[in-house]
Amino acid sequence: MPDQPSAASGVLRRPFTEQVAFFRGKLGNLVPTERWDDLEREQHDTGFMVAGAAKADLLSDLAAAVDRTIAEGKGLESFRKDFRAIVERHGWHGWTGEDTKGGRAWRTRTIYRANASTSYSAGRYAQLVAGDFPLWVYRHGGSKEPRLEHLGFDGLYLPPSHDFWTIFYPPSDWGCSCYVLGARSERGARRLGGDPDKTLPEGWDRIDPRTGAPHGAGRNWDYAPGASVAPVVRATAEKIRHWDYRIAKGFMEGVPEAMRDSLAASYRSLPSVADDARGYARRVLGDIDGDIEPLRTLGLVGPQQADIIADTWTGDPLRPVDLYDFSMARDDILHIVKGHGDSSEELRGQRAITAEDYALLPLILNQPDRVEQAGRSRAGEPLLSFVKTINGEQFIARFAVRNKQRTLGLKTFFVRKGK
């Protein structure tokens, strides 16, 4: 199992496959709403919403931003930057928290943490069920302002069939950071912080008339996140290996085609994706320090894009690239800087590619002026050029179809001046 969630925030430290499988299982059902409680309890297991977001394209952008925080482990500030851009792009007004700086910070934190903590807990639920643990141990998350009921449950261990878990499997309210561990025996439960003397208080499931839920559970939080879809989540997660290469495309097969197109475009419209492309190039080129991932995704190839690519290619049949992704790797960037990264480019009517240019790749892929067949690489890979003029310069990003990795990997990238 992954590490427990942060005791300070209740938010994941590192995403894991069951967590992403759970969240992406919701992406085929983006639900327009007026209020936060338009979806109730386990309806959240199969639908994504942001209170007050009703337009399909707005919901798609918000879903892509939240998905990125979960699948790629992005932080709150990255999400806030994306959220601000989405709100401005769609002219979305009237949402709760909009009017003040503190309100905007609260709203983005609420969206971020609620989705991170419920997806984390749902993923763990699938793992606990699959692990067939005879005992589940409730642990308090260490919140600065703890709920007394949750403190009272700390160390309680019960079989997974107990009714307690159908109500109080965490999170059980906004900001709840409690979590559950699986144990093979009472001795194992004690090692995990279980208290053999702890029992449920009488009336633990008595309904609070203010919330319609038992005391200690918030309104519409009296359910076990992920329980209704746990077998599906686990079965889906088991299909994934080498997660670094599947970030953009894992678990997307069940999302309707039109929605995949929308989500792919939404992903590449996020400011944080452009920032990460630039940052990845800067790390590879040694401009800044930091870890260099084996691959940096540029988002899913949607069905519509796959059709354009298929129509562009002539000659030998091209394997369908729907459910591939666009990507760039360290060696790609080093190859590009060697071939197109110095002042000699001026002699060819071009200019040197810089790390800043890589931030334009998401835009070039989303809105190319045209897509061209570009032959094959020395390794026999089909090559496709995405061409776009930006501020009087013509950018050509050439991608190689790499069927083994199910990706269109960046092969070369150059700029023609004065086009």
Establish whether the linkage from the previous residue to 271 is cis, with ω within 30° of 0: no
The mean pLDDT of 174-179, rounded to a whole number, is 94
Model confidence at 239, pLDDT cuts 50, 70, 90, reads confident
The pLDDT of residue 9 is: 35
The pLDDT of residue 237 is: 85
The pLDDT of residue 292 is: 84
pLDDT tops 90 at residue 417:
no
Residue 137 near residue 162, CB atoms below 8 Å: no
The pLDDT of residue 144 is: 78
* Helices and strands: H and E segment counts in the chain: 13, 12
Running DSSP on this structure, what letter comes out for residue 27?
T
Which amino acid belongs to residue 355?
A
pLDDT of 46-65, one tens digit each? 999 999 999 999 999 999 99
Rounded to the nearest 10 degrees, what angle do helices 17-24 and 230-237 cross at?
A: 120
Radius of gyration for the chain, computed over Cα atoms and rounded to the nearest angstrom: 24
The mean pLDDT of 28-45, rounded to a whole number, is 94
Among 250-264, 293-307, 309-323, 360-374, the range with the most confident prediction by mean pLDDT is 360-374
The mean of the pLDDT values for the chain is 91
pLDDT tops 90 at residue 84:
yes
pLDDT above 90 covers a percentage of the chain that reads 78
Residue 214 near residue 208, CB atoms below 8 Å: yes
Angle at 53 (CA atoms; ends 48, 55), nearest 5 degrees: 100
Closest C-alpha to 24, from 242, 254, 239: 254
Residues 6+ positions from 313 with CB-CB distance below 8 Å: 373, 382, 384
The pLDDT of residue 325 is: 95
CA distance 310 to 104: 44
Model confidence at 290, pLDDT cuts 50, 70, 90, reads confident
Say how many residues make up the chain. 419
pLDDT tops 50 at residue 368:
yes
Running DSSP on this structure, what letter comes out for residue 350?
E
The pLDDT of residue 288 is: 83
Closest C-alpha to 119, from 209, 14, 239: 14
pLDDT tops 50 at residue 12:
no
pLDDT tops 80 at residue 68:
yes
Rounded to the nearest 10 degrees, what angle do helices 101-131 and 56-71 cross at?
A: 60
pLDDT tops 60 at residue 123:
yes
Model confidence at 341, pLDDT cuts 50, 70, 90, reads low
The pLDDT of residue 286 is: 87
- The gap between the terminal CA atoms of the chain, to the nearest Å, is 54
pLDDT above 70 covers a percentage of the chain that reads 92
The mean pLDDT of 305-316, rounded to a whole number, is 92
The pLDDT of residue 251 is: 86
pLDDT tops 90 at residue 4:
no
Instruction: Dig out the tokens for 133 from the structure.
Output: 């643990």
The pLDDT of residue 246 is: 77
The pLDDT of residue 2 is: 44
Identify the burial level of 224 via C-beta atoms within 10 angstroms of its C-beta, where 0-12 means exposed, 13-18 middle and 19 or more buried: buried
Closest C-alpha to 277, from 336, 218, 219: 336
Model confidence at 387, pLDDT cuts 50, 70, 90, reads very high
Closest C-alpha to 398, from 416, 372, 366: 372
The pLDDT of residue 242 is: 61
